[in-house]
Structure 1
Amino acid sequence: MTYATAADGTRIAYQYRGEGPVLVLLAGQSNSHRWWDAVRADFHPARGTLTLDYRGTGDSDKPDTPHSTALFARDVVAVLDELGIDRADVYGTSMGGRVAQQLAARFPERVGALVLGCTSPGGPHGVESSNDVRRSLVQSRPGAARQALLELMYTPGWLAGHPGPHHTLGDPGMPAHSRRHHLAASRHHDAWDLLPAISAPTLVVHGTDDLLNPTANAPLLADRIPDARLHLIPGARHAYFEEFRSQAGRVVLDFLNRSAAEQ
């Protein structure tokens, strides 16, 4: 296992695969690098992929201290520093997209091109999921909350043909305190005032049927970030990058390649 050490001494596990220009892949809330297992190889013909286990997940340390998306962004920088990578493209989905916003705004020299998937600016400007969605995720009946999350991630037709395992439902090895800290980090994210400072070429991607992180957040981000592009995937839910992997991967790689050619 390979680690970088954050400024506060926390060890951050990271994983590098493939060859070529580096693409950092940032997972969703309460998930380790395994969030990307189903699709990361799709980028390898053209890119090397770098993932990490957020503090509290996977093989990283799990301190019982407050977390934030800005802190997670600093952890990403620690990993880049450990590997001697001055600049990389960044693709963040869900909470990973919130971390990517912080990274691109606060460390612009470290980010080449930026892709924000199924994410939100947070704060009072972000569009929250409905009360019905939130209630569905805290049901007490055994298995009900997990099934609700599956159906927010994927369409019924796709689930019927893909019984799992599903690595987008959270890291099962997380301690309870880490889950609380991740939830707080995501809930307290507010990058609205930072977004106009993002200078990296930016693509915003979202599924049109995403209720977990409502699709209305996508145009908010695209309008707030200078010259950002917006791509909506019809019929896709929160895990668009997996269920619609052929379309989503192509859109992202085309954008990254165009951005590299223009720089």
Structure 2
Amino acid sequence: MTEHDQQATTVIARTPDGTALACQHRGQGPPLVLLAGQANDHHWWDGVREDFHGLRSTITLDPRGTGDSDKPEGPYSTVQFADDVVAVLDALGVPRADVYGTSMGGRVAQWLAIRHPGRVRRLVLGCTSPGGPHAVERDTAVRKLLARPDPEAVRRALADLMYSPEWRAAHPGPYRTLGDPRMPAHARRAHLVASNEHDAWNDLPRITAPTLVLHGDQDRLTPPDNLGLLAGRIPGARSRLFAGARHAYFEECRPEAADLVRGFLAEEE
């Protein structure tokens, strides 16, 4: 158990299909939901969640298939993951929250804002895409790197896709964004399929929450052209590119990114 977990209240939420979801509520103040990337549990946010305390309490969860949550057979979908977040909010007695989703968590956050607009006050989408035929997909070389049979080689490739060499030299890890090692194979596959099949393009104009879209300009895992696609599709959305950052811009550009998000969340309605 990490220091972050020791300071958090852990609750088990139940989804309508009976899946148990572990969620963690930490700090005081209006709630901010933090949604992690594909095949990751709540530890994805360990390095930065305290940046929001003092302004917000933070809510994380272990998505189905990860961490201390149930790991049912698939299929999973980003729509289902969004409905799971609603079950977590209900279990915590939170009627409305700010939502910050990164990578696949950003795909989930899109559906949360689309399907449950009354539950989302402000929306931040990081290093993510609209999915479907309109999205800009990663190149073939990246796909080949991530499809290698050697798990350690894949972890090294992921670390390089997440962080620049300069940042890794100054921050040797361990990194929290390389996947939950406790995931069974069926859940890992189900997460991959859910992320690959995401397509919210037609519904993005239905988002009513004020929205901020963030991305690193050197991101090869989810190419940065997706930032413009999302920002152009969501009414009134603002955006920011972080120079020199790869997929995990929220860690590599932590002070600037955190300041930007805090300022956005603090704006008056």
Fold-level match, TM-score > 0.5? yes
- How far 1:143 moved relative to its partner? 2.8
Task: Kindly provide the amino acid, as one letter, of the partner of residue 184 in structure 2.
Answer: P
State the SS of the aligned residue for 2:201. Answer: coil
Partner of 2:165: 156
Which position in structure 2 is the counterpart of 1:199?
Answer: 208
Task: Look up the match of 2:195.
Answer: 186
Q: Which residue of 2 aligns with 1:227?
A: 236
**Residue 128 of structure 1 corresponds to which residue in structure 2?**
137
Q: Aligned partner of 1:94: which letter? A: S
Which amino acid in 2 is paired with 1:92? G
2:17 corresponding residue in structure 1: 8
Distance of 2:152 and 2:19 partners within structure 1: 34
Q: CA offsets per residue over residues 30-64 of structure 1, 9 Å max, x none?
A: 00000000000010021100000000000000001
Counterparts of 1:93 and 1:65, CA distance in 2: 22
Q: Taking structure 1 as reference, are residues 50 and 135 closer, same or farther at Cα in structure 2, changes over 3 Å only? A: same
Give yes or no for contact 2:11–2:92 (8 Å, CA) kept in 1.
no
> Where in structure 2 are there 5+ consecutive unaligned residues?
1-9
Which residue does 1:165 correspond to in 2?
174
Q: Which residue of 2 aligns with 1:143?
A: 152
SS of the residue corresponding to residue 99 of structure 2 reads: strand
Give me the TM-score of the superposition, normalised by structure 2: 0.95
Residue 6 of structure 2 corresponds to: none
**Residue 246 (structure 1) aligns with:** 255
Shift of 1:185: 0.3
1:33 to 33, 42, 47: 42
Alignment map for 1:98-117 (pairs within 5 Å): 98-117=107-126
Matched residues in 2 for 1:56 and 1:244: separation?
A: 29
SS at match of 2:258: helix
Question: Is the CA contact (8 Å cut-off) linking 2:217 and 2:245 kept in structure 1?
Answer: yes
Percent identity of the aligned residues?
A: 63
Equivalent pairs, count? 260
Which letter does structure 2 place at the counterpart of 1:218? L
One-letter code aligned to 1:149 = L
Match of 1:24 in 2: 33
Per-residue deviation at 1:142? Answer: 6.3
SS at match of 1:194: helix
TM-score where L is the length of structure 1: 0.97
Contact 2:31 2:58 in 1 (8 A): yes
Check conservation: 2:25, 2:59, Cα contact below 8 A: yes
Q: Which amino acid in 2 is paired with 1:97?
A: G
Q: Show CA shifts across 1:5-49 (max 9, x none).
A: 000000010000011110000000000000000000010021100
Residue 66 of structure 2 corresponds to residue 79 of structure 1: no
